[in-house]
Structure 1
Amino acid sequence: MGKIRIAPGLKKKVVKVEHGIFRCDLPANMASPGPPLGPTLGQRNINIQQFCKEFNERTKNIKPGVPLPTRAFINANGSYTMIIHKPTSMYLLKQAAGINKGTIVFRSLAGKITFRHIYEIAKIKSEDPPIECVDLKRICQLLIYTCRSIGIQVVRNLDPVEYSKFLKERQEFLIAKRKELDEIKEAKLLRTTV
């Protein structure tokens, strides 16, 4: 077989289409060029100030500090396409239950929400690109599974007075548990230093 000849004057040209995908959870309206975001974007040849400014501008109507999953599709020339998703379902479920943490003791109850909460969160999450084609019923089922994993009970009706009493008792339990864990940690430190 003979060699393939390229016409004189034509050169082979390799074009990089995509440099990669950058994924992170950024707090709404609080992106800053400092670590850890700045160095990570700098490695990918992205204008850090422009990225932070665009992110903060697009999230200015959201409560500051809400974690937003962010994806940036990065081209070889440093340009990018930013996609900002709705807050994580874990965050929304904990906010609806009025708790900061899920369960810390296996199979204990961390909080309660109603089916109405599940439905409203499912409507919010159905706007996210990865699950926009998923049926609303399936999203609700996934949210209920997530509730089980973090100790949130889904109920039909919720009495506000009873639930506020439950949250106070849970707060006292968490303080006692934290104190117990600190004592265990302190005891381990004393054993290792002797």
Structure 2
Amino acid sequence: MPDQIRALVEGGKATAGPPLGPALGPLGVPIPKVIAAINEKTKEFAGMQVPVIVKVKKDRTFEVEVGTPPVSALIKKELNLEKASGNPKAEKVANMLIEQAIKIAKMKEAVLLSNDLRGAVKTVVGSCVSMGILVEGKDAKEALKLIDSGEFDVKIRAGKTELTKEELAKLEQEKLALAEATKKAREQAEKKAQEIMEKMTGRERSEIKAALKEAGIPADIIQKLLPVEAAAAPGAAPAAGAPAAGGAAPKAEEKKAPEKKTGEKK
């Protein structure tokens, strides 16, 4: 059974330093050759952390097995996204073409629980639902229905993954437009929330929060404008009868037992 070294490396940028170098040294393999093999196999994942396994045999020959980053990481890399949407139902952050979904599906096909490329593509598109990403300009759930109906069968069967410069440029423009639309929508939501809160001045927090939810205000905006009551400032005396921060209401002062005089029998 060969020795196995497992590590997480940046795609195309593995080095002879930790964690690989110190682990490979005692096994007697040519470390520069191992590093070169890893970088060649992981270069398509530049900028991402990639799991690798180096198997070293008794004759000091080696094999490199490369895993792939999670689907969500591959989607963000493909679309040049820093993060997914924090409110995926209402706020979309990018649009993905079916060719890009096919490209990611082919990277992950071996480990995805699907019987064919079409199923792998559906898994990728399904991940877009929770990330706030459109697919072919449509909600990801709608795109899944189109895949089931055969809308993209020709491209999927062909394994088409190439995009033109014009298509890529258009996707970037759409991403900027979505970001601007999200910004305006959030500004409008905050303004609406402020109006509701002003009308409900003096009402219980729970009532105000319920009204904001009913009006469709995003949860993070509600939290921002209606934070949980802050604890009393350090050193400040609580109001009469008010519970101490994080504790129960103070108990009534207990009467002290009379002190026994010296020599008094117990």
Q: Same fold (TM over 0.5)?
A: yes
Question: How far did 1:46 drift?
Answer: 4.6
**1:135 is aligned to 2:116:** yes
**1:157 is aligned to 2:134:** no
Question: How far did 1:167 drift?
Answer: 2.9
**1:90 is aligned to 2:72:** yes
CA distance in 1 between partners of 2:182 and 2:53 (Å): 36
Question: How far did 1:137 drift?
Answer: 2.0
Instruction: State the one-letter code of the partner of 2:3.
Output: H
**1:53 aligned partner:** 36
1:70 aligns with one of 24, 31, 52 = 52
Instruction: State the one-letter code of the partner of 2:179.
Output: L
- Bigger strand share: 1
Instruction: State the one-letter code of the partner of 2:16.
Output: P
Mapped contact 1:97–1:112 kept (Cα < 8 A) = yes
RMSD: 4.3
**1:18 aligned partner:** 2
Distance 1:125 1:52, change over 3 A: same
CA distance in 2 between partners of 1:81 and 1:171 (Å): 49
Unaligned 5+ segments in structure 2 are: 139-169, 187-219, 221-233, 235-266
**1:188 aligned partner:** none
**1:29 is aligned to 2:12:** yes
**1:123 aligned partner:** 106
**1:6 aligned partner:** none
CA distance in 1 between partners of 2:15 and 2:35 (Å): 6
CA distance in 2 between partners of 1:89 and 1:49 (Å): 30
Q: Report Cα offsets for 1:141-162 as digits up to 9, x if no partner.
A: 221333234x233333277545
Instruction: State the one-letter code of the partner of 1:91.
Output: A
Aligned length: 160
CA distance in 2 between partners of 1:165 and 1:122 (Å): 27
Question: How far did 1:88 drift?
Answer: 4.7
Q: Report Cα offsets for 1:107-142 as digits up to 9, x if no partner.
A: 67462333513233223433xx54598311221222
- From the CA coordinates, give the structure whose radius of gyration is larger: 2
**1:102 aligned partner:** 84
Distance 1:24 1:40, change over 3 A: same
CA distance in 2 between partners of 1:82 and 1:166 (Å): 41
Task: Provide the TM-score with structure 1 as the length reference.
Answer: 0.56
Quote the sequence identity (%): 20
Instruction: State the one-letter code of the partner of 1:34.
Output: G
Instruction: State the one-letter code of the partner of 1:92.
Output: L
Alignment of 1:2-17 (within 5 A): 17=1
Question: How far did 1:80 drift?
Answer: 2.2
